[in-house]
Amino acid sequence: MKKDLGVQPYLFPMPVLMIATYNDDDTVDVMNMAWGGICAGNMVSLNIDEDHRTSQNIKARGAFTLSVADVAHLKEADYFGIASGNDVPDKFARSGLTATKSGRVDAPIVNEFPLTLECAVEECRMEPYGFHVLGRIVNVLAEESVLNAQGEVEPEKLNAFAFDQFQNGYYAIGPKVGQAWSSGAELNK
């Protein structure tokens, strides 16, 4: 029997995404966010609060990068969700991570994260549910260590982790358990 839990933001897994932008003084700002993801073949959608430093940077620069955090950098990724760029101006420096300027958009690439989407802002607007950002993916960068022999990203090599909305935990993403558009094909007969 199912129990009624009311209205909750309960989905699992939720991605742990790092939004990187430049501040007005060209220092790096990184924010941990879970409410966003791919919304079209070349687009990402973010839903964040407009008062975040990251939101102001996105509006000012028209660009951001979106990275997948890995288990090796869980502590730093979590810190980017704890500390506010509005209150801690040297937030990124405190993390000990490093960044390189993107050659495609006006935003930083966090060197330690294994997968990064370079994004140009297509639209920003306030919605009843928050500050909504649509970004066009202009390029994807991946560490060679997460690629297979064909140059494709292997999810297990990313060593990514997911966020759970139920108890605010992080969970490592495990081994492959099926093949999309194939595992259930026998039911289509």
Backbone angles phi, psi at 40, to 5 degrees: -165, 175
Take residue 149 and report the two structure tokens written for it: 């022999």
Has residue 5 been placed in a domain?
A: no
Q: What's the rounded Cα separation, in Å, for the pair 16 and 37? A: 10
Q: What's the rounded Cα separation, in Å, for the pair 189 and 186? A: 6
Instruction: Determine contact, residues 109/116, Cβ cutoff 8 Å.
Output: yes
Backbone angles phi, psi at 51, to 5 degrees: -80, -5
DSSP string computed for 143-185? -GGGB-TTS-B-HHHHTBEEEETTTTEEEE-------TTTTTG
H or E element at residue 55: helix 53-61
Residue 18 maps to which CATH number? 2.30.110.10
Has residue 155 been placed in a domain?
A: yes
Has residue 131 been placed in a domain?
A: yes
Residue 138 structural domain: 14-188
Q: Give the tens place of pLDDT for each residue, 31-89.
A: 999 889 999 999 999 999 999 999 999 999 999 999 999 999 999 999 999 999 999 98
Res 189: pLDDT = 85
Q: Looking at per-residue confidence, does 42 or 188 come out higher?
A: 42
SS3 call for 77: helix
Has residue 49 been placed in a domain?
A: yes
Has residue 6 been placed in a domain?
A: no
Has residue 112 been placed in a domain?
A: yes
**Total domains, the chain:** 1
- Amino acid letter, 28: V
Q: What's the rounded Cα separation, in Å, for the pair 153 and 146? A: 6
Q: Give the tens place of pLDDT for each residue, 23-39.
A: 999 999 999 998 899 99
- Amino acid letter, 84: S
Q: Give the tens place of pLDDT for each residue, 100-133.
A: 999 999 999 999 999 999 999 999 999 988 899 9
SS3 call for 90: coil
Has residue 1 been placed in a domain?
A: no
Q: Which residue has tokens 């970004």?
A: 135
Has residue 2 been placed in a domain?
A: no
Take residue 72 and report the two structure tokens written for it: 């090796």
